[in-house]
Chains A and B, each alone.
Chain A
């Protein structure tokens, strides 16, 4: 197994026109935003018929980030984990989502099971999924301000003082 830091992999392999990188032995597809739904559809036809997970990452605090291949890194990234029951294989998709236009087409038509995940990603990161049937907050109260998992959202620590407590 890889004992060293994974280097920026020279991509030679392409799948559905997207560069493939290897992350700790796992296949990762770097998908452009405009090809996102088409690629997921093509993969579904190939046998990746289950969408296990969809989440976001906010790379605000990482400077000089490289994604691999010639993909331009953006602030947000949506990570989709697909699973093929027949091939017993996993594949991961990483999509860059820019800060000033944090939208992505919804996967609802391909995998209805992403509904809750997309709502959660909207709730936590403010990434809007176009075409989602119910684009509302899922975990936080409806009138909540901000998106908690963004890096510029404070954790909300309340300092705790242990002195002067009533004994």
Chain B
């Protein structure tokens, strides 16, 4: 700022120091005039800049890291994507961020306790995990033919309801990933109904440990039939609503159709099972093709897709809810009476009431829960159809009461291998839709 003395000096033709003041001495206003706060550029200059070659060279790619903490990945999945512009060239799923050492822990737990361990693998369909573990143990024990009918049908009931809740959750998360956020709320709402039934039956909303070697932990509670019927009657109208909301909508179709397509040959070579394999047109459902429990006694259709894209996988899961409802109706009609677990002293703890009266029963109860039961030597593999594909259990027994080796063939672990093939050549914006359509559960991938 010039003072009056300086003005007089200027009048005396002194040039003064012809230098810029240092910036700290400038006021904000002067600084603004001098450097400018906006980029000043004439239109011709800007147009000249536009002519500069800004296309990336052909071989210039970018590696992008997605996850492990990412809003749209399911769980802690990490993807390394190689991009050229918007196109995905290669993709590598990196897993292990949820590795829990369950197979190691499973070796330290008895067969009786094993259910608590395996049920936490695929936490969206815990009952299927318990079921496959129990079936494998029963096969090793040689009692797989003696399980009471009621227990078998109860297992089917729970397994199908679990499939419904799992697929409903898929609809919710798939909707959210693609932008149909209201579907998120709807899917959870319906799933909540099923979970409430589970809570009534097993005491827990998730991680039930209800299906155990030899049968189940308890009988169905009074009034279970009405509860199941309430779910079944409630659901169809809601599903129709979702049909209107999503299936026919152009935006929904545009986001999913033709996205992440694989062929049947690819899917089989990669070992994919479940809705992913079925979406390519291969009608393979272990419930029909290698029936376990009493699935050969009930009628249901295997839903098959055609194009192997994300839309087919969505539609398959959607319609599998309806098929599961059809099975549950048949189970309601045919649920036999009888025992809910095998009456085999070796495997079954004594009834609660007898513990009060009999010392032997008390000791028996104590021993079965502390030491567990011994399982004859051998090795066995059992595979069943979980909502995500074939879940298998491979157990090696050395004759003690703990499994010598307990391995789970997790469907998500294998299905996730298909991600690079589905994403190849697609847009990075579709990556989330593809991950979502595979519906991986990371607890099962990493175990």
Contacts and interface: CB of A to CB of B under 8 A. Distances in A.
User: Are A and B in contact, CB atoms below 8 Å, in the complex?
Assistant: yes
Interface of A: 1-6, 23-24, 26, 28, 49-53, 55, 57-58, 61-62, 79, 81, 85, 88, 90, 92, 111-117, 120, 124, 137-141, 148-149, 155-156
Contacts of A113: 269-272, 414, 417
A112 B269 contact: yes
A36 B390 CA distance: 25
A139 B446 contact: yes
A108 B225 CA distance: 50
Contacts of B103: 124, 149
A40 B368 CA distance: 42
Given A53-B409, A88-B290, A138-B95, A23 B268 contact: no
B279 to A, nearest CB: 15
B284 interface: yes
B377 A6 contact: yes
A61 B397 CA distance: 12
6 nearest A-B pairs in the assembled complex, by CB-CB distance: A113-B271, A139-B96, A53-B409, A113-B270, A139-B99, A5-B376
Contacts of B269: 111-113
A116 B414 contact: yes
B398 A50 contact: no
A121 B295 CA distance: 33
B377 A85 contact: no
B85 interface: no
Contacts of A117: 414
Contacts of B284: 85
A81 B404 contact: no
B413 A116 contact: yes
23 contacts: A1-B144, A2-B142, A3-B142, A23-B379, A24-B140, A51-B271, A52-B390, A53-B392, A53-B409, A57-B379, A57-B404, A62-B404, A85-B289, A90-B381, A111-B271, A112-B269, A113-B270, A124-B103, A137-B96, A139-B96, A139-B99, A141-B96, A155-B108
A55 B104 CA distance: 14
A137 B97 CA distance: 12
A81 B99 contact: no
Nearest to A110: B269
Given A1-B145, A5-B378, A51-B271, A115 B392 contact: no
A28 B99 CA distance: 30
Interface string B411-442: 00110110000000000000000000000000
Contacts of B270: 112-113
A5 B377 contact: yes
Nearest to A28: B379
Interface of B: 95-96, 99, 101, 103-105, 107-108, 139-140, 142, 144-145, 268-273, 282, 284, 289-290, 376-381, 383, 390, 392, 394, 396, 398-399, 404-405, 407, 409, 413-414, 416-417, 446-447
A83 B104 CA distance: 27
Which of B95, B269, B390: most chain A Cβ within 10 A? B269
B381 A1 contact: no
B400 to A, nearest CB: 10
A76 to B, nearest CB: 11
Contact of B394 (A1, A49, A53): A53
A33 B42 CA distance: 75
Given A53-B407, A57-B379, A117-B414, 9 more contacts: A1-B144, A6-B378, A26-B381, A52-B271, A55-B394, A57-B404, A79-B394, A138-B96, A139-B446
A103 B77 CA distance: 30
A138 B413 CA distance: 11
B8 to A, nearest CB: 76
Nearest to A63: B398
A49 B383 CA distance: 17
Contacts of A137: 96
B42 to A, nearest CB: 54
B152 to A, nearest CB: 15
Contacts of B404: 57, 61-62
Contacts of A114: 271
Contacts of B273: 52
A24 to B, nearest CB: 5
A50 B268 contact: yes
A57 B396 contact: yes
Contacts of B101: 148, 155-156
A6 B396 CA distance: 13
Contacts of A61: 398, 404
Contacts of A4: 142, 376
B142 A1 contact: yes
B94 to A, nearest CB: 8
Contact of B271 (A1, A28, A50, A62): A50
Contacts of B140: 24
Contacts of A49: 268
A2 B146 CA distance: 12
Nearest to B92: A134
A85 B282 contact: yes
Contact of A23 (B99, B289, B380, B392): B380
A53 B404 CA distance: 18
A81 B396 contact: no
A89 B108 CA distance: 32
Contact of A139 (B95, B107, B289, B376): B95
